[in-house]
Chain A
Amino acid sequence: MPKRKREPTPKLSQDQLSLSLKLETTDRNKPNVDADDFFLAAEKWLRALKIFAKEQGEHVKWEIVDLKKASALVEVQPVRVETGKPVPNLVRKWEQGLKKVEQTGRPAPKLTPDALSALRDFVFSIPTNTVASIGNGPASERHKVTPLTQRRIEQAVAAFPPEPKKEYVAQGSIRGLLAVLDSWNPEERSFRLKLPMAPAKPVKCTYRDISLTAELGESFEGMVEITGQLRYKPEHPWPYAADVEHITTLPRKPKVSLKDLVGLVKLPEGEDSVSYVRSLRDAE
Chain B
Amino acid sequence: MQSSKPTLDVWDSCCLIGILNGEKDKLAALLAQTRFFETGAAMLGLPIAALDEVIILSDGTSAEEKVRAFLLNPYVLPLHPNLEISFKSKNLRIRFDVKNLPELHDKAVAAGVPKDQAKKLRVKDSEILATALFYEATRLTTFDPFLLFLAHEYIEKETGLIVDRPASPFLPFPEEEERVT
A residues engaging B (CB < 8 A)?
36, 40, 168, 170, 172-175, 177, 196-200, 223, 232, 237, 250-252, 254-267, 272-274, 276-278, 280-282, 284
Q: Considering the chains assembled together, what is the distance between the CA atoms of A254 and B134 in angstroms?
A: 28
Of the listed stretches B3-11, B104-112, B155-163, B172-180, chain A binds B3-11
Q: Considering the chains assembled together, what is the distance between the CA atoms of A96 and B63 in angstroms?
A: 65
Instruction: Compute the total of residue contacts between A and B using a CB distance below 8 Å.
Output: 147
Ranked nearest first, the 4 interchain pairs of A and B with the lowest CB-CB distance are A263-B22, A264-B63, A223-B74, A273-B17
With known contacts A196-B1, A250-B72, A257-B38, A263–B20 Cβ distance under 8 A: yes
Nearest A residue (CB) for B76: A175
Q: Considering the chains assembled together, what is the distance between the CA atoms of A259 and B20 in angstroms?
A: 9
Binary contact track B53-79/A, C-beta < 8 Å → 1, others 0: 100011001110011011011111110
On whether the beta carbons of B66 and A256 are closer than 8 Å, the reply is: yes
Contacts of B125 in A (CB 8 A): 281
Report 7 cross-chain contacts, Cβ distance below 8 Å, ordered by A residue: A175-B77, A196-B40, A199-B4, A257-B73, A258-B70, A265-B63, A274-B144
On whether the beta carbons of B8 and A197 are closer than 8 Å, the reply is: yes
Contacts of A255 in B (CB 8 A): 69, 72
Report the minimum CB–CB distance from B149 to chain A (whole Å): 14
Q: Considering the chains assembled together, what is the distance between the CA atoms of A199 and B8 in angstroms?
A: 13
Nearest B residue (CB) for A282: B122
On whether the beta carbons of B123 and A259 are closer than 8 Å, the reply is: no
User: Which of B21, B26, B67, B77: most chain A CB closer than 10 A?
Assistant: B21
Report the minimum CB–CB distance from B50 to chain A (whole Å): 9
On whether the beta carbons of A177 and B144 are closer than 8 Å, the reply is: no
- Does B124 interact with chain A (Cβ within 8 Å)? yes
Contacts of B4 in A (CB 8 A): 199
Contacts of B62 in A (CB 8 A): 264
Nearest B residue (CB) for A222: B74
Q: Considering the chains assembled together, what is the distance between the CA atoms of A175 and B125 in angstroms?
A: 24
- Does B136 interact with chain A (Cβ within 8 Å)? yes
Contacts of B38 in A (CB 8 A): 254, 257
On whether the beta carbons of A272 and B82 are closer than 8 Å, the reply is: no
On whether the beta carbons of B21 and A273 are closer than 8 Å, the reply is: yes
On whether the beta carbons of B74 and A175 are closer than 8 Å, the reply is: yes
Binary contact track B24-66/A, C-beta < 8 Å → 1, others 0: 0011001101100110100100000000010001100111001
With known contacts A250-B72, A265-B57, A277-B14, A199–B31 Cβ distance under 8 A: no
Category for how many chain B residues contact A: 35 or more
Report the minimum CB–CB distance from A78 to chain B (whole Å): 24
Q: Considering the chains assembled together, what is the distance between the CA atoms of A261 and B65 in angstroms?
A: 10
Nearest B residue (CB) for A264: B63
On whether the beta carbons of A274 and B14 are closer than 8 Å, the reply is: yes
Contacts of B63 in A (CB 8 A): 261, 264-265
On whether the beta carbons of B58 and A265 are closer than 8 Å, the reply is: yes
Task: Choose one: B13, B66, B83, B144; the contact of A168 (CB below 8 Å).
Answer: B83
Contacts of A265 in B (CB 8 A): 17, 20-21, 57-58, 61, 63
Q: Considering the chains assembled together, what is the distance between the CA atoms of A255 and B65 in angstroms?
A: 11
On whether the beta carbons of B144 and A277 are closer than 8 Å, the reply is: yes
On whether the beta carbons of B23 and A272 are closer than 8 Å, the reply is: yes
- Does B115 interact with chain A (Cβ within 8 Å)? no
Q: Considering the chains assembled together, what is the distance between the CA atoms of A256 and B67 in angstroms?
A: 8
On whether the beta carbons of A196 and B43 are closer than 8 Å, the reply is: yes
Task: Choose one: A196, A200, A257; the contact of B70 (CB below 8 Å).
Answer: A257
- Does B150 interact with chain A (Cβ within 8 Å)? no
Report the minimum CB–CB distance from B166 to chain A (whole Å): 11
Nearest B residue (CB) for A221: B1
Report the minimum CB–CB distance from A162 to chain B (whole Å): 15
Task: Choose one: B3, B22, B43, B135; the contact of A262 (CB below 8 Å).
Answer: B22
Report the minimum CB–CB distance from B14 to chain A (whole Å): 4
Nearest B residue (CB) for A249: B72
Q: Considering the chains assembled together, what is the distance between the CA atoms of A210 and B157 in angstroms?
A: 50
Binary contact track B125-148/A, C-beta < 8 Å → 1, others 0: 100000000111000000111000
Task: Choose one: B72, B77, B134; the contact of A251 (CB below 8 Å).
Answer: B72
Contacts of B37 in A (CB 8 A): 258
Q: Considering the chains assembled together, what is the distance between the CA atoms of A14 and B54 in angstroms?
A: 60
Report the minimum CB–CB distance from A284 to chain B (whole Å): 6
Contacts of A250 in B (CB 8 A): 72-74
